Amino acid sequence: MIRIFADYEALSRAAANHVVLAGKRCAAERGRFDWVLAGGATPRTTYQAVAELTQEVPGFWQHTHLYWGDERLVPGDHPDSNYHMAKSCLLNLIDIPPEQIHRIPGEAPDAHATARRYQADFPARPDLLMLGVGGDGHIASLFPGSPLLRERDSLLAVAEAPVEPRLRITVTPAVLTAVRQVVVLVSGPAKAAALRRVFSQEGGIDQTPARLVRGATWFVDQQAAKEIIELGVVRPI
Ligand code: 6PG
């Protein structure tokens, strides 16, 4: 499903509502909500809105476990760290038991050992995987042309990014089939071409890794949706 919003703020509020509803439902159905966070900048306002909304939902964070879909191999207090971003936009604003924050230790010396250890702690079927999309169509740290685009066994792997910080730990496509639901946040004109490639099925997964995503709920603002609206894939709001 593709939901189009007038702007980034509206997209973020709607995505936050979606996450909180999912968390309440998972807690009611199985007493736990495993949420895999996205990195980058787009989720910032969504995370802040989730923190605000859950002030009215007693016990939300007692049932919630947080994981990361990818992390740069830098310390947790580094400005490039996805944990660092989530800490400022979410973790510092909520009352969650520390043992329920499952950080990827980017500072650990052995990346492959870190990926293996994190996989051992990672839920077999996460409830919600949140993703952003890069301008080149990457998701998490699955970049165009990466050999990881065919990984179907390991849930997590070491990735090489084309930009600094180059070394990453990332979920693999195997997680996309294990997860109960995927939410993708896409904002701004720089993402319009990648979205067009995803929804017009132009090129392959190697060129546009976001084409790996199936059955997701896409939260897209008008600017990012410009080309798929012109294509007639979606109707403008
Ligand atoms: C990362 C993210 C990455 C991000 C996209 C979009 O570690 O960089 O996981 O996949 O979601 O690059 O980034 P923006 O939201 O900053 O545009």
Whether pLDDT at 236 is above 80: no
Predicted confidence at residue 235, as pLDDT, reads: 80
Q: How confident is the model at residue 189 (pLDDT cuts 50, 70, 90)?
A: very high
Distance in Å, CA 185 to ligand 1 centroid: 10
Distance in Å, CA 234 to ligand 1 centroid: 24
Predicted confidence at residue 202, as pLDDT, reads: 82
Q: In this predicted model, what pLDDT tens digit does every residue of 42-92 receive, in sequence order?
A: 999 999 999 999 999 999 999 999 999 999 999 999 999 999 999 999 999
The residues, ordered by sequence, that sit 6+ positions from 54 with a Cβ below 8 Å of its Cβ are 20, 23, 60, 61, 94
Residue 42 Cβ contacting ligand 1 at under 6 Å? yes
Pairing mode, strands 64-68 and 33-37? parallel
Bridge partner list, 5: 221
Q: Among residues 171, 188, 3, which one has the least CA distance to residue 102?
A: 171
Residue 221 Cβ contacting ligand 1 at under 6 Å? no
State the chain's mean pLDDT as an integer.
97
Q: How confident is the model at residue 237 (pLDDT cuts 50, 70, 90)?
A: confident
Candidate from 131, 156, 167, 220 with most ligand 1 atoms within 8 A of CB, to mutate: 131
Predicted confidence at residue 69, as pLDDT, reads: 98
Candidate from 84, 89, 141 with most ligand 1 atoms within 8 A of CB, to mutate: 141
Q: Among residues 161, 226, 185, which one has the least CA distance to residue 44?
A: 185
SS3 175: helix
Predicted confidence at residue 201, as pLDDT, reads: 81
Q: Mean per-residue pLDDT for 123-139?
A: 98
Residues 232 and 221: beta-carbon distance below 8 Å: no
Q: In this predicted model, what pLDDT tens digit does every residue of 192-211 receive, in sequence order?
A: 999 999 999 888 999 999 99
Predicted confidence at residue 203, as pLDDT, reads: 85
Distance in Å, CA 60 to ligand 1 centroid: 26
